[in-house]
Amino acid sequence: MNKEAVITAKNLEVGYGDYVLLHNADYQVNKGDIFIIMGGSGCGKSSMLRVLTGLMPPLKGSVVICGVNMVTAPEEQRQKIREKSGILYQSGALFSSMTLAENIALPLQQYSTYSPETIKELAHLKLALVGLAGFDDFYPSEISGGMKKRAGLARALALDPEIVYFDEPSAGLDPISSRNLDDLIIEINRSLGTTIVVVTHELSSIFAIGNNSIFLDGETKSILARGDPKELLQNPPNEKVYRFLTRGGENK
């Protein structure tokens, strides 16, 4: 492939102790991808995301992110890669005792040498980027669920990351808010060139935003398909992938 790999997983085994969720996983996330990790409940989507973000180690195999093997590299190198990444959790995971601007400022205070005035300005700009201009002094309890997701995204973008991870971004949102978030993800990908990795089972989001993907199967504990979700729908490699992409929900 001529495309530049940002994430490369080889012979990856994901699980907990003796319990294996996924084995022999090989895939590549290219620079500028909106990469979807999809599949039914219990197939290991969220666990795969934890491995990619460094929250848990794989049982076997390697994950190379921006040229660094996140399994074998020294902690200092792995930390530098983490600082190039942002994460949007399902709930937004905002600190309730902080304003939105203070939430966005937190990673800048911890991992940058900017002055307090510059950090305040950057927090304001990141909120404006996600459509929350003027909400700097609001607390999470004072805004809607969709706005919390946007604020969480603003915080994920605080350090201008090369990669942003999304864990079920549409969870808990109404269809309009979900679509607006999908549009925002596409806009950030196109305007900033950010590589995006999304864990989801929502078909509307998968087809709206994804240009590359893997399909995880809980029964075989393997990757059953790779590629653009729209192309997988047109030419499904097997019955499980076809059923998932035409009806969604659980693979039974």
Provide the whole-model pTM: 0.91
In this predicted model, what pLDDT tens digit does every residue of 9-55 receive, in sequence order?
A: 999 999 998 899 999 999 999 999 999 999 988 899 999 999 999 88
Report which residue type is found at 190.
R
Share of the chain above pLDDT 90, in %: 81
Q: What token pair was written down for 101?
A: 């601007």
Q: Per the domain annotation, does 126 fall within a domain? A: no
In this structure, what CATH number is given to the domain that contains residue 77?
3.40.50.300
Euclidean distance between CA atoms 51 and 172, whole angstroms: 24
Q: Is residue 15 part of a domain?
A: yes
In-domain check, residue 90: no
**Domain of 41?**
1-84+195-252
Q: Tell me if 180 is assigned to some domain.
A: no
Number of domains in the chain: 1
Domain assignment present for 131: no
| 57: in domain | yes
| 177 inside domain | no
184 in any annotated domain: no
Q: What is the pLDDT of residues 185-225, one digit of tens each?
A: 999 999 999 999 999 988 999 999 999 999 999 999 999 99
Using DSSP's 3-state secondary structure scheme, residue 137 falls into coil
Closest CA relative to residue 216, chosen from 24, 61, 86: 24
